[in-house]
Structure 1
Amino acid sequence: MTKRITMINTLDPDIPLEIQVIPYGYHETPKGAFLCDEESAALVIEAFNSRQNDMVIDYEHQTMSGAEAPAAGWIKELIYKGSEGIWARVEWTARAVQYLGNREYRYVSPVFVVRVSDAKVVNLLNVALTNQPNIDGMVPIVNKGVGDTKNEEARKMEKVSAVLGLPEAATEREILKAVEDLKGQTQVIANNDVLAALGLKEGSSQSEVVGTIMAMKQADTSITGLIGRVKELEGKLNAKEADELVAMAMKEGKLTPAQKDWAKDYAVRDAEGFKVFAAKALPVIVTGEIAGDTTKPTGIDETQKMVNKMLGISEATYNKYAGAKEA
């Protein structure tokens, strides 16, 4: 049964409650290579959901060493986000929030079990806060600046909602109604907390408050629309790049025609991972054959068997295409 937890970070709204714990795709680390795909995610999440206890996030893997190991947080749920890999919903401790807020810690480091036959991740054992993760390129926990889609205006709206006693996700209509309810008390809004959250001076009128909220809403909507258009453009560029990568891999004999759709999907989701695969994969289709030579391989060496197994290619399929050529 999936554990579904709804949490609000009351300690620090800038510290995320969802963090990446295992990145998607093929990765090489100082401790060995691993692969995280849909099958990996399903196995990892199934193993996590079979637990009765929450999984701890500690500091520098102290839990694994047997030393005193205070918790930095507790993983309540694991989520698969496709090309972004496996993420965790976290309940942080106050001490960890302070570390993260001060940028004293920025990354996490997972400990997991890898299946020997194909290097796929099958179980998550531990997650730790660290500043020297073995996996390069993971999403940092705290990273203000480029890529932060939550603009300052949206943050102000949340603060106004809190001051008015409304939920953080209150709608524009709900906020304006709460402001209108204050109008009957006096022509001047006397709640200094609301004015401070909006960046207005003490004694500002109700009209100034309403106008400021409307302007903030418009700014938030415009940014959201721009983000959507950027993501659409990124998708088109990713698809074009994927087509080029797959075409090159097929030209080099690294893919069979039957693998084209699989390869396109992989390249769209993780272009860098596909480049690593294409660079390391051995040819499965012989190119540049002597004219008239239709002899097919009579056997497969151990290296090729291992490659075939990782790619999901049966021996019959390999033998069928390895010596094939165009008429």
Structure 2
Amino acid sequence: MKTLLALNTDLSALPSTEGQAPDWIELIPAGPTITGRDGRTWLFDELAQQLVLAAFTGRAIDMVIDWEHASEVAAPKGKPAPAAAWIDRLEIRSEALWGHVAWTPRAGEQVVAREYRFVSPVFDYDDTDRRILRMVSVGLTNKPNLVLTALNHEQPETHQLAIPQALAVVLGLDASATDDQAIAAATQLKAAATARNSEQPSLDKFVPRQDYDQAVSRATNAEQALATRKADEHKAVVDSEIDAALKAGKITPATADYHRAACSELAGLDRFREFVKAAPAVAEPSGLGAHKPDGTSTALNAEEKKVAQMMGISESDFIKARA
């Protein structure tokens, strides 16, 4: 299917009220064969008439009349395309297509003043049998193509709309590139991608996926083993420092877990060492290096006496609880 800026109607030859633009204009003359001044022909038979009317009804919106086909030429380039009028009805009269027009004030004045004498409809047609399929828009113009009431610019047969700007950027084309240029560029990109995908990868830059996954797995396992070993070594050092502080009476057994947690990081262990160096003895030496408590002693050391006092229990009850 192709789109054409096709037929031209002489507005001055149409019935109108004095001082007003015509309410009805002929868009496509009676067929079945429509011939333009430049020799091009199209088919507007009974089937074409039905297709055009059905397409307009199915569209359910008015069809625009603009100046010099701005909707088809200027709008795709981001330029203004204001409406000169709107067509709200289509009718077949004596095998010709007519449209009912509501003009804008400016366009109506231009038509009355004969500043614009012709209208040129844009339509889609079947490229095989050249049958007209649907109306697209209408443009005010002064360069008619068809005799009678059919308007159009004398120009190449198809009106090529610009491809979307985003697509042009991706393909490395200018925004005014044609469909054929876009297809050629896309085909070239596809061929280049296919060629790259078929190339044998260089082993000095790439490795098989299985080898890569195995290497990553080994590296991950090694990192985990190293982290575990470092954590175990650090824990052993912390336990040693905590035991030494207990033996020296610098900390109490009740706070041992707190200090152990604070030493979970290397910076915390360093701070604990500095604390132990500067701290006075707060408890009697634990004697943990000489013997292991069996929980059967009947005497309380100074720290235990303080704890019993703070808890409000007797020394004998504390000894029982400790056992």
TM-score by length of 2: 0.38
TM-score, normalized by length of structure 1? Answer: 0.37
Pair member with larger Rg: 2
Larger RCO (CA under 8 A, 6+ residues apart): 2
